[in-house]
Amino acid sequence: MGKAKIKKSELLMGFAFLAPALIVIFCFTIIPIFSAIYTSFHATTYAQVGEFVGLKNYIEVLGKSTGWKNILNSIEYVLMSLVIAIPLGVGIGSLLNRKIKGIAVLRTLIIIPWILSQTVTALLWKWLLNGNYGLVTYWVYALTGKKIDLFSNVITAKLLVVVANVWNSLPIIIILTLAALQTISPELVEAAKVDGASRKTVYTKITLPLIRPTLGTAVVMQSIEYFNMVTLIYVLTSGGPFNQTQTLSLAAYQNGFDYWHMDIAAAYSIIIFLLNIVFSLFYVRILRGNDN
């Protein structure tokens, strides 16, 4: 009986400590999800939820080419960002792991883009590349005598959004890579060199496999962040030109807060939520496969 009472008291104590976190999760995660699901099946007038319309809002989103184009834009944006950010982050992280003069200063400076908000990052890149007064376009005009507007072209606009995103998010990948590299035993590397392994062999056969779990975590984290990103794209291009840089998350934001189509915005949000679950399960399966 005594042990049972002790276990029961410990259980209650555990719930007491968890209660604040559970309440926050319930209020700011669970309730909004169910509220969005409810709203997505109803018509709305501004923020007022009206009659039940079934799947009409989802048909409105996915029944038009615009919805599928937004999905493709989101996937394209995520993949392009990852293809640039992950290799670049691993490369820079590997360089910063070396013992060279001034490395502490470099490690500090490399964090600056990450601590800037997405709004500041977008405004910075928008100013640099503005077709009328941007610093970069001024240099191009001084060299060629021609004015260019990079945001008016579909291809360059997509690339610039990706570049700005990579510049802003690259430091976290570098930090994760650097932290993973510093957990590798120097004796292991030295033993491989004594056995005649070249620097390239050590890096590809020992270093990269050992930091693979960290890189997998970085891919999952950044994929979800990129897929849900709104502020950077909204400030930089607002989805233009011709909605070619409009992603699912941006479409949800614009429908909800620019056009006050809360029902359509809720449908977009639920689609994003379901895709995030699918992507997360997919990545977890890959990570478990790599561990086996």
And the tokens for 61? 């989103």
DSSP state string for 77-91: HHHHHHHHHHHHHHH
Cβ within 8 Å of residue 40, ≥6 positions away: 57, 58, 263, 266, 267, 269, 270
**Calpha distance 50→53 (Å, rounded):** 9
pLDDT tens-digit map of 102-119: 777 877 888 888 888 899
pLDDT tens-digit map of 10-66: 788 888 888 889 899 899 889 998 999 999 999 998 888 889 998 999 998 888 778
**Calpha distance 168→175 (Å, rounded):** 13
- Tell me the torsion sign for CA atoms 116, 120, 122, 123: negative
SS3 state at 51: strand
Predicted structure pTM score:
0.85
Question: What's the whole-number mean pLDDT along residues 60-84?
Answer: 90
Query: Any idea what DSSP says for residue 240?
Result: -
The answer to whether 73 and 157 have CB atoms below 8 angstroms apart is: no
Question: What's the whole-number mean pLDDT along residues 174-193?
Answer: 86
The answer to whether 176 and 219 have CB atoms below 8 angstroms apart is: no
Query: Any idea what DSSP says for residue 32?
Result: H
The answer to whether 74 and 247 have CB atoms below 8 angstroms apart is: yes
Q: What pLDDT, on a 0 to 100 scale, did the predictor assign at position 290?
A: 58
Helix (H) / strand (E) element for 246: namely: none
